[in-house]
Amino acid sequence: MNITTIKLENIDIELILTNANDLEKTFDFELLKKLSFKAEQDDLCFLPESNKLYVGYSDDISSSIATSFRFVSTKEYINNIKLTTSLDDQESIYQIVIGAFLGNYKFDKYKSKKIDIHIKSLYISTPSEKDFSETIKKATTIANSTNFTRDIVNMTPDDCYPKVLAKIATTLANENNLECNILKQKQIEKEKMNALLAVARASRHDPRVIHLSHKPKNAKRKVLIIGKGLTYDSGGLSLKPSDFMTTMKSDKSGACAVLGIMKSVSELNIDIEVHGFIGAVENMIGGDSFKPDDVLVAKNGKTIEVRNTDAEGRLVLADVLDFAQQEISEFDYIIDLATLTGACVVGVGNYTTGIMGHNENLKNKMKECAKKSGEFATPLDFNRFLAKTLKNEVADICNISNTRYGGALTAGLFLSEFIKDENKDKWLHLDIAGPAYVEHIWGVNPHGASGAGVRMVVEFLESL
């Protein structure tokens, strides 16, 4: 889809963006009033006789635009769209473009009849003649990166296993001038990443550890982004119930977000050195499965008693976090993204990312960046009493706490054990278990993968 502020010759439909305060100023006000259109958030009113679609908004422009694009995409005759708006600030145009691309997203890889995405062009008509070209370019890049992430998350476990995820990373590196290093089984063994290897060992697919690097000249900062890449999670011997196992293709969402972030960072050429690390593993069952009661020796030498093989993502991240700090010893921030706990979904709902860490200012900064980007996120606070629930009589630490409560926080506290003391205030853990994959449409997001974390983290990197 091409988005421009240059007038199109042929217009199939006009979208008119309005709110309750401006509704009386619209040309069709009397007709809209009869049709009970109130121009509230995500309200639509289609006037087929004039080919106009009125779009209401209050506080979320991108969601309203996404809703209108889903409607428009059902009309096969519509190819070229004019969007009329009284808004002419850069932020509003950015939100319009984001909403258009994210709302126009379709995933039909597994459909026998493919969906024809027929919308070719969008012309944005504003009261002024400001130059929005850079804003449109940035929004298009970030939206495309989010949709790229969605595509990978939506792939089935038979089509996307660790080797495939590594191939996707390699292709991205070649196309976007990124450095790429892939560790295979023997190299991972040499690095003594035994916690990760334990999770992987019952799968027919060998694990991969992926390192992508964006290194601009005279970079102002250096940031490490770590992603959990469970291409499928059966729960291992602590087998998930069948209805909990459905959608576990989405357990690679953190890794896919890292790929989307690296795509955005390189295409926007952000002047920050960014390193993306991914632990790509499949957690399956078999005669070689790791077991409850096993004691694993992580890469940093800590011993971990396994009491639940379904608490596997933190084992993978433990080794990858340590590996990242070994490879890049000096940096400004280290951020991990993971669909880590159902407890986070219980605590804050399907739509919100949980932000954890030891640095209150850093947590609040990420929350602000999430809000600005259009994502929902909220800080969750650690405390010393929950930390005690991970203590263990058999090993240094247990992979689950001794209480059923505060599961998102205890998982974050477990990861904290693998962050070096000097890096604790530089670290953030983003639990995206809620928003990464939801089985209904919400806001700018479709059924399935949302690309959670991409817009938020790119906003954070740009804010530096």
Residue 131 CB contacts under 8 Å (≥ 6 apart), including other chains: none
Residue 49 CB contacts under 8 Å (≥ 6 apart), including other chains: none
Among the options 52, 263, 314, 367, which is catalytic? 314
SS3 content of the chain, % helix, strand, coil (to 5): 40, 20, 40
3-class DSSP assignment, residue 302: coil
Q: 89: annotated binding-site residue?
A: no
Rg (CA), the chain: 23
CA distances from 447 to 177, 314, 320, 370, 436 (A): 32, 27, 30, 21, 11
Helix pair angle (407-416, 313-327), 10° resolution? 30
Among the options 192, 221, 240, 307, which is catalytic? 240
Task: Assess whether 455 carries a catalytic annotation.
Answer: no
CA distances from 12 to 9, 75, 77 (A): 10, 10, 8
Q: 251: annotated binding-site residue?
A: yes
Q: 233: annotated binding-site residue?
A: yes
Instruction: Give the DSSP per-residue string, 422-442.
Output: GGGGGEEEEE-TTTTEESS-B
Q: 116: annotated binding-site residue?
A: no
Q: 312: annotated binding-site residue?
A: yes
Rounded distance between C-alpha atoms, residue 38 and residue 48, angstroms? 18
Question: How many Cα atoms within 13 Å fall on the side-chain side of residue 328?
Answer: 24
Task: Assess whether 240 carries a catalytic annotation.
Answer: yes
The strand order across the sheet containing 44-47 reads: 2-4, 121-125, 80-84, 13-18, 52-56, 44-47
Phi-psi region of 198 (alpha: psi -120 to 50; beta: other; left: phi over 0): alpha
Residues comprising the binding site?
228, 233, 251, 310, 312
Q: Which residues are the active-site residues?
A: 240, 314
Residues comprising the binding site for Mn(2+)?
228, 233, 251, 310, 312
